[in-house]
Chain A
Amino acid sequence: MTEQLDAGLVARRIAGSDQVGEPRDPAEGREVGRARRRREDARLITGRTRWTDNIQLPGMLHVAFLRSPMAHARLTRVDVSAALAMPGVVAAFSGRDFAGEQGSLPCAWPVSEDVVIPDHPPMAVDRVRYVGEAVACVVATDRYRAADALEAIEADYEPLEAVLDMTEALSDGAPAVHEAGNQAFTWRFSGGDADAAFHDAPVVLDRTYVQQRLIPTAMEPRAVVAVPEGEGFTLYSATQIPHILRVMLALTTGIPEHLLRVVAPDVGGGFGSKLQVTAEEVLGLLLARRLGRPVKWTESRSEGNLTAHHGRDQIQRISVAAERDGRIRGVRVDLLADMGAYLMLVTPGVPLLGAFMYSGVYKMDAYDFTCTGVFTTKVPTDAYRGAGRPEATFAIERAVDELAAELGLDPVEVRRRNWISREEFPYTTVAGLTYDSGDYEAATERALALFGYDELRAEQADRRERRDPVQLGIGVSTYTEMCGLAPSRVLGSLSYGAGGWEHAAVRLLPTGKVEVVTGTSPHGQGHETSWSQITADALGVPFEDVSVLHGDTAVSPRGMDTYGSRSLVVGGVAVLAACEKVKEKAKRLAAHLLEAADDDVEFADGTFRVRGTDQGRTIQELALAAFAAHDLPDGFEPRLDADATFDPENFSFPHGTHLCAVEADTETGRVAIRSYVAVDDVGRVVNPLIVEGQVRGGIAQGIGQALFEEAVHDTGGNLLTTTMADYLIPSAADLPDFVTDRTETPATSNPLGVKGVGEAGTIAATPAVVNAVVDALRPHGVRDVPMPCTPERVWRALARSRANDGGTR
């Protein structure tokens, strides 16, 4: 090949090097579908990588924040002068010192006409509204001195009454969190005629469920490094959203967007908690600007529990109208959603992401939804794994189990009578979504078989008969979710501030290696592996010859980042689209060099061949030819690369059936999960190992909500669960081995047929577990146990129902 490419020195060196890539060996089979171990894991697990807190820069200073000990108070005085005198302290500021420039933390989702978006200064100026709100900061030569100097700051507060309960917050005379009152917004939605559906309905079920407040517990705490560089700034942050963050920070701080680079180095998990524009990011930049030196802030676990946004926290009133045979006529939902003290990036939108999912997998005539957002004096809520959809799925799946119990029917049978059958897809639900594909029958049949449903029901009957102190409960969850966030037009119609497209760039380097630039921002999802697999198949190059670049606005200038199970469904498809464009270019070049018509050139296994001949060029040879540019078609730019943006027409709708068996010790209240079966349909699968990891982690987190996790405040609004000794998350030692399997109904909304898997397990698991807990206790007269179903709560539920029963059981 060198002869044909002429004799340029660089080109000859490249062509003669054993570093030049070659096409993939077709005998190895396709990359997509292969259970590859994640190529990024070695560096992530060993920590030999650039976590934000690992970054050390010359002259770097360290920031610590003084935080309000009051849930609600007037901040009458902050005096930082004594802190300034402490050793190593370079500067100290109160909110007042930044009043003119700190702006207001943004809310990008003004959900309704009546929405109240209160001013949200990154550092409080004259009022604090939750425990942990920053009131002052110290900048010192090291972290230790900064922390010590905080104790020298004097801050005076005039306490105001804390507002902790949503119902009380909305009542007359409640202390106002903000001048405009405690109601953030109301949002209504309906499909069909709910009055007709409920009128004369043979069965009407009313239930209230509480989605407790949760603390998203990512392994890596939040961290920020802000660096003045030349005219502008670089901000390193443990964030899920470098691209959105850059835009928002430019708007908030007044630093022009083109002079602001945002980098998300390797990020250790987020679960939504890093889908945020935080006070610490804004203040980091402002401090770097004012001091002209790099500054770093890394939160402790307790500081994170106090100040990073929380999740869930809703009170759901759900009514179901049904026929005696279990067929659902309609559903009404009245939701109170705790916003906390302020509206942050997507705070008010979270409950609305669930608004379209309360009909679940079921057909019904009518659906009516109302949501009221409520301000309280707690840290704001915002996205947490599933964001709105776990709540909706929980309510409908719990209610369907209750309906089955009310009617004396098997909960699986009630689902069968109501779900969208496989022949009915695409199906437009009562909530107006069009589910493109699905096969609830297949997933459920598989799950029932793996679970041994009939045998477990027989054992349950036997234990009930024997009045075994350890009762068996079986919980069902046939979930679906809307994910792959998603179509920009739809997001626009919901008043969301940005689009839902995703961007990718693919470039072949002179040596035939491939760089993929993605606008997604992985923080544990394994995009480097999955995107490499997609690219390897599309371009016919070895997996090892692909690298994936991400998380730096200077490297990956366009993107919408990672949340809402969107990365593969939108970003992965963008990678594929960019690969296709590169192939088109390469084909043109191949045709030129082979002196053939474009249409006579075909591509297979990394080589472009003239149809019917053995004449061909590998894609690597073409990369070099493009680079050397010695012999290109007229007008052909000397590069094999392409950009692509994908904006899907529809959400994607993963679904599945999760079955959980619990043993409930009626003497102690302890619930132990005996077996758990998950059959998920996430469409086509790029990497089964990554899907498995997402499903298992998701289930664990869903179980966390069901049995363990709860942010608890005292009556003064102090968070009591500030450490992991108090905020319990399950570890492997607390969970059984899950049985997982998949059915595969490809999505029709994207060319990969993928649906997204990041949130499925979390959405499915919580109702499966709680349904099982209640099923175990039902013979004792228990109809609900509030989450988390702790041993004490189970014991009290049993005690209450025994008392109501006159002690006959």
Chain B
Amino acid sequence: MIPAPFDYVRPASLDEACRVLGEAGDGDGDGEVKALAGGQSLLPLLRLRLAYPSVLVDLGRLEELRGVHDRGDHVFIGALTTHDEVLRSPVVREHAPLVALATATVADPAVRHRGTFGGSLAHADPAGDLPAVALALDCVLVTASGAGGREIPAAGFFTGYLETALEPGEVLTGVKVPKLGDGWGFHYEKFHRTAQAWAVVGVAAAVRIDAGAVAQARIGLTNMGPAPVRARAVETALRGVTPPAAGAGGGHDPVKDACAWADEGTSPPTDLHARPDYRRHLARVLTHRAVRAALP
């Protein structure tokens, strides 16, 4: 299909990008300004005429937004780093394995070579895999703007369906992914109908074991509401729980009990692939699987 007409700007600097993005103001209706990163979500919306931006600001020349950096207590992933570059980064694999696990499930190789880490967070599709990961890891999203920029914790970034805390004229420049230290295990459990499809439900889990019991758990849920959510009730219920030994059949499983709270506080959507009661069920089952797989 063919997008409605729009103006196209490709700024040479971050300052220029912020200025152009700020000029026309951002709005909910027609005539808004949209930032273009890898385009893997935005272009389909344009082509289906579900979005009618008047100006498209292509960030593709902003090399400074690209790349992965080890910054001591955290990994900094530039917003324009492609999913494929994230996957290939030894720094990500060593210090942010949950990001790598989830990124590996994003769409297909073609999309992963174009789509960007920052783009998928700024697009904030609740069915996208990375917002739940950012939430689970308490990432910090770094922005630039004419006013100087901000550092926004993931918990305050995803404000609604395809909505974020980004202001007009504000550009996501990168993400700080905290290094969690020793004793943690990770897993991203994605349930989707075909390899390329969006997650029906996804569960990002990070679990730390201390002296045989769960010391801390961080669970982010994909597609269980208009924005990604933390399964706080599970995180709380898991604390202090001693997981049964692997292969121990039958019997009472306190991890499973804890994970039965996974859908608490969620408002899962209805779509062609699942109705809410099924999504709630999946969240419980998949959270259990994710936590089990994450156990270090």
Chain A contact residues, CB within 8 Å of chain B: 143-144, 147-148, 151, 300, 302-303, 667-670, 708, 712, 720-721, 723, 725-726, 728-731, 733-734, 790-792, 795-796
Contacts and interface: CB of A to CB of B under 8 A. Distances in A.
A670 B2 CA distance: 36
Task: Output the residue of A147, A668, A731 with the most chain B CB within 10 A.
Answer: A668
Contacts of A303: 1
A733 B48 CA distance: 26
Given A300-B1, A721-B272, A728 B282 contact: no
7 smallest CB-CB distances across A and B, nearest first, come from A733-B195, A147-B2, A300-B1, A792-B278, A734-B194, A667-B285, A728-B194
Given A668-B285, A728-B194, A733-B196, A792 B1 contact: no
Nearest to A722: B48
Contact of A730 (B4, B194, B274, B282): B194
Contacts of B273: 790, 792
B274 A792 contact: yes
Interface in B273-296: 273-275, 278, 281-282, 285-286
25 contacts: A147-B2, A148-B2, A151-B4, A300-B47, A302-B48, A668-B286, A669-B278, A670-B191, A708-B193, A712-B272, A720-B272, A726-B272, A728-B193, A729-B194, A731-B194, A731-B195, A733-B108, A734-B194, A790-B193, A791-B200, A792-B273, A792-B274, A792-B275, A792-B278, A795-B278
Nearest to B281: A795
Interface string B187-216: 000010111111010000000000000000
| Majority secondary structure, B binding face | loop
Contacts of A667: 285
A144 B194 contact: no
B5 interface: yes
Contacts of A728: 193-194, 197
Q: Which residue, B48, B193, B286, has most C-beta atoms of chain A within 10 A?
A: B193
B195 A148 contact: no
Contacts of A729: 194
Nearest to B285: A667
Given A300-B2, A729-B194, A734-B195, 15 more contacts: A148-B4, A302-B1, A303-B1, A668-B282, A670-B191, A720-B272, A725-B44, A728-B194, A733-B108, A733-B195, A734-B194, A790-B193, A791-B191, A792-B273, A795-B281
Contacts of A669: 278
Interface of B: 1-2, 4-5, 44, 47-48, 108, 191, 193-198, 200, 272-275, 278, 281-282, 285-286
Nearest to A667: B285
A442 B177 CA distance: 61
Nearest to A720: B272
Nearest to B286: A668
Interface residues of A, dominant DSSP: loop
A674 to B, nearest CB: 17
Contacts of B286: 668
Contacts of B194: 708, 728-731, 733-734
A80 to B, nearest CB: 19
B196 A668 contact: no
A708 B192 CA distance: 11
Contacts of A668: 191, 282, 285-286
Contacts of B281: 795
A148 B278 contact: no
Contact of A791 (B48, B193, B196): B193
Contacts of B2: 143-144, 147-148, 300
B121 to A, nearest CB: 20
B195 A725 contact: no
Contacts of A721: 272
B4 A725 contact: no
B293 to A, nearest CB: 14
Nearest to B288: A667
Contacts of A792: 273-275, 278
Nearest to A87: B5
Nearest to B249: A466
Nearest to A303: B1
Nearest to B275: A792
Nearest to A733: B195
A144 B5 CA distance: 8
Contacts of A791: 191, 193, 200
A303 B1 CA distance: 8
B153 to A, nearest CB: 31
A796 B279 CA distance: 12
Nearest to A142: B2
Contacts of B44: 723, 725
Contacts of B196: 731, 733
A165 B245 CA distance: 53
A151 B282 CA distance: 42
B289 to A, nearest CB: 9
A155 to B, nearest CB: 17
A796 B278 contact: yes
B151 to A, nearest CB: 34
Contacts of B191: 668, 670, 791
Contacts of A720: 272
Nearest to A726: B272
A732 B285 CA distance: 27
Contacts of A300: 1-2, 47
A148 B275 CA distance: 36
Given A667-B285, A668-B286, A792-B275, A725 B197 contact: yes
B1 A725 contact: no
Nearest to A151: B4
Contacts of A708: 193-194
Contacts of B48: 302, 723
B257 to A, nearest CB: 15
A177 to B, nearest CB: 26
A302 B47 CA distance: 10
Given A725-B197, A733-B195, A733-B196, A148 B282 contact: no
Nearest to B2: A147
Nearest to A665: B285
Contacts of A723: 44, 48
A790 B197 CA distance: 14
B58 to A, nearest CB: 19
B117 to A, nearest CB: 21
A733 B278 CA distance: 25
Contacts of A143: 2
Contacts of A147: 1-2
Contacts of B275: 792
A521 B196 CA distance: 33
